[in-house]
Amino acid sequence: MMKHLIIILLCLTCSITFAQSKKELKKDLSSKNLKINSLKNQNDKQSKLIGELQLDLFEVQSELENAQNQISFQNEEIEKLKNTIEERIIKPEWKKVLKRNTIVSYSNFFKKYPQSNYAILAEENAWEKAYSKKTIVYFKRYLEYFPNGRNVEKAIEEITKLEIALEESKGKFSGKLPDQVDQIKESFLNSDENSFTIINMTRDIGKKEAYKLKVSFKGNTDKGYVNGSYEVSIDDCTERIFEPGKYFFVIETLANSNIKKFRNTEAWTFNGSSRTKELQIGVFSRWHIDPLIITEEDKQAEQKRTLKLHKKYYNCWSKEYKDILNSY
């Protein structure tokens, strides 16, 4: 009897446990179904959103194509209008300019119609006009009216040649400056700066007569033609900042009617962020004095003289050269 009771209890326990397990399983399945339904709803929402975005993208692409077509059409209309203006307005004016054939008229046309098909021709014709005349006046006129022209450097070269020829025809001969000047990189200078110092040594080099110097320059830079002049006092020096470019210099020693000029016949290239090596000017160009040194004693005497001379102009030199002078 006892055995039967135990078996019945065990069966009841198993039945209760099974029922509980079944209930938990149903609960778990229900939870998973909820999650599945939630994910399905999210996927449906995402699919709907993707569909809406694709539709928006299609509309945007369609609008973009329409806009591009409108721009193309407008560009075609603008080009037609430009051609009409070129043919009916600009071309007749260009014919009038060709008849005048002056640098001034070419310049006025260039300024009035810089985008015209004839603009480049205007600058070219102005240069041909100046070059055909081959006079200082015409080359200067070209520089005045076309300071950004493609032949600025050539015009300056031609002016230099003509000025030398004119002076030599009058028995006046220019001293020759060096063909090139050394460039030293300087970190403290900007990319659009070149430092150039001229030292007036007229009291110490040549005839031992002191003269004030007048420095004139013409140059071709990224900003176009530049020119100017300045003076260097006796026993002094002048440092000036130049824009990078190619330059021609005329340095004059002035004393009543006695004028001596020095020139460079090859363009000097001034680099940005650089210092041009100091230029020493006497009554005769420093580069035309070949000291007659025969003995070692003569060499030492010349070195002492040069050292003394350079120390006199101590403030005119670069920091590096001042350090060298200080070491003696």
DSSP 285: B
Q: Which of 150, 183, 209 is the last residue of a domain?
A: 150
213 belongs to a structural domain = yes
For 120, the domain range is 103-150
Cβ atoms of 296 and 287 within 8 Å: the answer is no
CA angle 31, 33, 34 (to 5 degrees): 65
Residues 199 and 237 in one domain: yes
Tell whether 309 and 180 lie within a shared domain: yes
Q: Distance of alpha carbon 243 from its chain centroid, rounded? A: 10
Residue 98 lies in a domain: no
The values of phi and psi at residue 260, to 5°, are -120, 130
The token pair at 143 is 């520089």
pLDDT digits (tens, 9 = 90+) for 283-308: 443 433 344 445 677 677 778 888 88
Strands of the chain (E only): list them: 175-176, 183-185, 194-200, 212-221, 224-232, 237-242, 245-255, 258-263, 268-270, 274-281
- Residues 179, 293 within the same domain: yes
The mean pLDDT value of the chain amounts to 82
The answer to whether the beta carbons of residues 217 and 239 sit under 8 Å apart is: no
Of 324, 327, 298, 325, residue with least CA distance to 312: 325
Q: pLDDT at position 217, please?
A: 97
Under 8 Å CB-to-CB from 7, ≥6 apart: which residues?
none
Is residue 225 domain-resident? yes
Check whether residue 318 and residue 188 sit in a common domain.
yes
Could you tell me the two tokens for 258?
């006695």
pLDDT of amino acid 91: 86
Above 90 in pLDDT, residue 272?
Answer: yes
- 46, part of any domain: no
Tell me the C-alpha distance between 265 and 307, whole Å: 30
The answer as to whether 83 is a domain residue is no
Q: In the prediction, which pLDDT does 289 show?
A: 38
280 or 225, greater pLDDT: 225
Look up residue 279 and give its two tokens: 């230029």
Q: Is the domain of 139 the same as that of 193?
A: no
Q: Residue 227: which residues within 8 A CB-CB, separation 6 or more?
A: 143, 216, 217, 218, 219
Q: Is residue 4 predicted with pLDDT exceeding 60?
A: no
Residue 185 lies in a domain: yes
Contacts of 214 (CB under 8 A, 6+ apart): 229, 230, 231, 251, 252, 254
Asked whether the beta carbons of 210 and 202 are under 8 A apart, the reply is yes
Residue type, 320: E
Are residues 189 and 311 both part of a single domain?
yes
Residue 81's pLDDT is: 58
Please indicate, yes or no, whether residues 286 and 249 belong to a single structural domain of this protein. yes
The pLDDT of residue 30 is 67
Higher pLDDT, 29 or 248: 248
Q: What would the pLDDT profile of 49-104 be if each residue is shown by its tens digit?
A: 777 777 777 777 777 877 787 777 677 666 665 666 666 778 888 899 999 999 99
Quickly state the pLDDT bin for 153 (edges 50, 70, 90): very high
Q: Is there a single domain that holds both residue 186 and residue 302? A: yes
Which helix (H) or strand (E) segment is 310 a member of? helix 296-312
Q: Is residue 315 part of a domain?
A: yes
Is 225 in the same domain as 316? yes
Contacts of 290 by beta carbon, 8 Å cutoff, 6+ apart = none
- Same domain for 181 and 312? yes
Query: 238: which strand partners?
Result: 198
Q: In total, how many domains does the chain have?
A: 2
Q: In this structure, are 255 and 300 located in the same domain? A: yes
- Alpha-carbon torsion angle 245, 250, 253, 259, nearest 10: -170
Low-confidence winner among 101-110, 174-183, 215-224, 248-257 (lowest mean pLDDT) = 248-257
Question: Per-residue pLDDT averaged across 26-38, rounded?
Answer: 68
For residues 293 and 244, state if they share a domain: yes
Higher pLDDT, residue 139 or 254: 139
150, 165, 188 — which closes off a domain?
A: 150
Identify the pLDDT of residue 287: 37
Structural domain contains residue 161: no
pLDDT (tens digit per residue) in 185-213: 999 999 999 999 999 988 887 666 788 89
